[in-house]
């Protein structure tokens, strides 16, 4: 294919339609080795890569210490009631938590005191709990059962 172009280029020079400088320039372009286009040529992949890097290095807010009404706190209270030390004897089930209120919160100590009315399979009881963190683990102490 390049030989056909080169012969046409030579014919154009012989007819006088191309100067010697133009002929040499076109010949150099034809004989110059071409690099095949690779998969990573172009800009199409740069936008997703930039978005990924932004997502990767964007500062994330700390999740914080859970509130009294958070679903993780409710789950901890449920587990403490149903799977606590007296669970084998009493077989209590937590049905609902009503009127949840925060009594106190200490951000430095990562400690929160809460109170609520717990609806159990044995009736309603007012309970309080202490939610605290030790070494990255969230712990709870439930009183009033």
> Which pLDDT does position 123 carry in this prediction?
86
Give the separation between CA 8 and CA 111, rounded to whole angstroms.
Answer: 87
pLDDT tens digits, one per residue of 85-141: 766 677 788 888 888 999 998 888 889 999 999 988 888 889 999 999 888 788 888
140 in Cβ contact with 77 (< 8 Å):
yes
Among residues of the chain, what percentage have pLDDT more than 90? 11
> Which pLDDT does position 106 carry in this prediction?
86
**What's the mean pLDDT when you consider all of the chain?**
83
Pinpoint the alpha helices (H) of 46-113.
46-57, 71-82, 87-90
Provide the whole-model pTM.
0.53
**Which residue has tokens 């809460």?**
114
Among residues 126, 15, 140, which one has the least CA distance to residue 76?
140
144 in Cβ contact with 125 (< 8 Å):
yes
Sequence-distant (6+) residues with CB within 8 A of 10 are: 23
With b for 16 or more beta-carbon neighbours within 10 A and e for fewer, the 104-114 pattern comes to eeeeeeebbbb
> Which pLDDT does position 80 carry in this prediction?
87
The full length of the chain comes to: 145
Q: Does residue 62 have a pLDDT over 60? A: no
Please give the residue that has the higher pLDDT: either 129 or 145.
Answer: 129
Show the tokens assigned to 77: 């209270």
């Amino acid at each position: 294919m390049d030989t056909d172009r080169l012969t046409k280029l030579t014919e154009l020079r012989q007819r006088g339609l191309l100067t010697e400088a133009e002929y040499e320039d076109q010949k150099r372009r034809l004989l110059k080795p071409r690099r095949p286009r690779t998969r990573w040529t172009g800009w199409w992949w740069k936008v997703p890569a930039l978005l990924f890097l932004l997502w990767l290095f964007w500062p994330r807010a700390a999740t914080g210490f859970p509130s009294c009404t958070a679903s993780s706190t409710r789950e901890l209270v449920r587990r403490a009631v149903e799977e606590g030390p007296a669970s084998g004897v009493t077989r209590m089930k937590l049905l609902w938590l009503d009127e949840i209120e925060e009594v106190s919160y200490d951000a430095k100590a990562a400690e929160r005191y809460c109170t609520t009315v717990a609806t159990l399979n044995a009736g309603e009881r007012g309970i309080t709990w202490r939610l605290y963190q030790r070494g990255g683990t969230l712990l709870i102490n439930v009183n009033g059962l």
